[in-house]
Structure 1
Amino acid sequence: MRETSSASPTSYYRLLHASPGTGPVDLHVNGKIVARNLRYSNFTNYFSTASGVYTIKVYPTGKTTDPLIDTRLQLVPGSIYTLAVIGDPGNIGLQPISEPLPGPTPRYAMVRFVHLAPGTPELDILLPDGKKLFTNVSYKEVTEYIQLAPGNYGIEAITTSNNKRILIVPRINLQADKIYTIYAVGKLNGTPPLQVLIPLDGSTYLR
């Protein structure tokens, strides 16, 4: 299946379906199906593999011709990736999002934000008291990690240009020594609606 030496260290990847309006998909890696029927806003589990160059194809579930995505991807030694299927139907792409270890985080949670909502303008993410966590985040952009004390938080998304509140998430729980990515997905004025996904990064528990 792999195209380089079997001695290469292990890498990890998972697939995120973040293409609003696109039906369930299957993931094929080097011609072998590794995930079936992944629905919008869902993640697969992480897959482990040796590092190397892989052919990645994403098909509508049950199909093996006319892939939605057909690309090659290099997984570097020891890396962890979320591979996001993004874009509107007819303009679908794959965005590899690396999950690096941001450094020791004793007594803190590490959090970043990724804007994967097509057609949605640049965003600021803030707390209910107005403190901004991330600013001026454009579509496909991945922010740096920030430290937050563990606990329960409400967060809001506003448009950078005119401070219009477009999403309120009343409660998220962040735990110490955990690493999170907040993914914005969906449509600002359409279906499925704008929402956030907040899974643990694999760098919290893999390697």
Structure 2
Amino acid sequence: MPQNKSYFQKADMYDYLSNCYKYTDPNKYITYYKKHLKYRQLAEQSISETRLPEQNGVYKPALIRLIHASIDASEVDIYVNSIRVLKAFPYKEVSTYLPLPAGKYQIDIYPAGNMVSTVLSRKVVIEDGKVYSLIFSGQAKNLKWLAVEGQLFVPRGEAKLRFIHLSNDTPTVDIAVKDRDVIFSNVSYRKATSYLGLSPMNIDLEVRIAGSHNIALPMPEVQLEMNNIYTILLIGSLTDGSELEALMTLG
């Protein structure tokens, strides 16, 4: 058994034990929870320390993160090559970046605490040194998968911004400065724009129905700080009574 898988299993075991004593024995709860944290850290460290073939003296793992953008999929557990890496992962959550060697990976998503059948299962191929956001969106009964490459470099003193459309019942949109020009045009569902280099600023943006001035979502006081890269994700629903939202992340 790979060492990192063993660590994850021990972390799960101590997590279970800590919850058993959460309300009956505070000392045992704390003891088991500390062990859970210990093995969780060891598991993540063992993955991040996987060595890759050397390229010009530098090891360059790929970085992946996962984003839960399905409004009705509830919490999920996510497995990478049969190793659980995220537990009870909720809607609107963005994971930290996980370093992985280049290669092919099986990613399975289950309802939290239930491994009977997946809600989504995909194989992904990642390359050395690249950065990926792996996103699932849409309705729980018909989840859609989107893998988007990212960037980590921004010229000093500048900022970068891109937009990803993840609301399945919202038509094609434009992203514009409030009452002014469009900066990203005709962005359809499950499409990502390129990054746009910008000066650091605080700015009011709005999501418009493409080709019109009809505002689907105002985005006031968007803060773009120097030396940072940002992604704005359009999530939620425009028509079913749920809230349409803009989720802003670094990267």
Q: TM-score, normalised by structure 1?
A: 0.89
In the alignment, structure 1 residue 115 sits paired with structure 2 residue 165: yes
SS in 1 for 2:213: coil
TM-fit CA distance, 1:191: 4.5
TM-fit CA distance, 1:161: 4.5
Aligned to 1:158: 208
Q: List per-residue Cα deviations over 1:60-116 (Å, max 9, x = no partner).
A: 101112101111101111111111111112110221111035x65232211111101
In the alignment, structure 1 residue 176 sits paired with structure 2 residue 233: no
Q: List per-residue Cα deviations over 1:28-71 (Å, max 9, x = no partner).
A: 01111000111111111111111110000011101112101111
Distance (Å, rounded) in 2 between the aligned partners of 1:182 and 1:104 = 17
SS in 2 for 1:147: strand
Aligned to 1:63: 114
Describe how 1:129-144 pairs up with structure 2 within 5 A: 129-144=179-194
Query: Please, which runs of 5 or more residues in structure 1 have no aligned partner?
Result: 202-207
SS in 1 for 2:249: coil
Distance (Å, rounded) in 1 between the aligned partners of 2:95 and 2:77 = 11
The CA RMSD measured in Å over matched residues stands at 1.8
TM-fit CA distance, 1:6: 5.3
Identity of paired residues, percent?
29
Aligned to 1:204: none
Aligned to 2:46: none
Does the 8 Å contact 2:136/2:143 carry over to 1? yes
Distance (Å, rounded) in 2 between the aligned partners of 1:132 and 1:198 = 19
Aligned to 1:25: 76
SS in 2 for 1:90: helix
Distance (Å, rounded) in 2 between the aligned partners of 1:65 and 1:12 = 29
In the alignment, structure 1 residue 94 sits paired with structure 2 residue 139: no
TM-fit CA distance, 1:11: 1.1
Distance (Å, rounded) in 2 between the aligned partners of 1:18 and 1:104 = 26
Distance (Å, rounded) in 2 between the aligned partners of 1:68 and 1:41 = 17
Relative to structure 1, is the Cα distance of residues 191 and 56 closer, same or farther in structure 2, using a 3 angstrom cutoff? farther
Aligned to 1:106: 156
Relative contact order, CA 8 A, sep 6+: which one is greater?
Answer: 1
Matching residue's letter, 1:198 = M
Aligned to 2:52: 7
SS in 1 for 2:141: coil
Distance (Å, rounded) in 1 between the aligned partners of 2:211 and 2:196 = 23
Matching residue's letter, 1:45 = T
Please identify which structure carries the higher helix content.
2
Q: How many residues align?
A: 198
Please identify which structure carries the higher strand content.
1
Matching residue's letter, 2:98 = F
Aligned to 1:145: 195
SS in 1 for 2:142: coil
Relative to structure 1, is the Cα distance of residues 141 and 34 closer, same or farther in structure 2, using a 3 angstrom cutoff? same
Distance (Å, rounded) in 1 between the aligned partners of 2:241 and 2:67 = 18
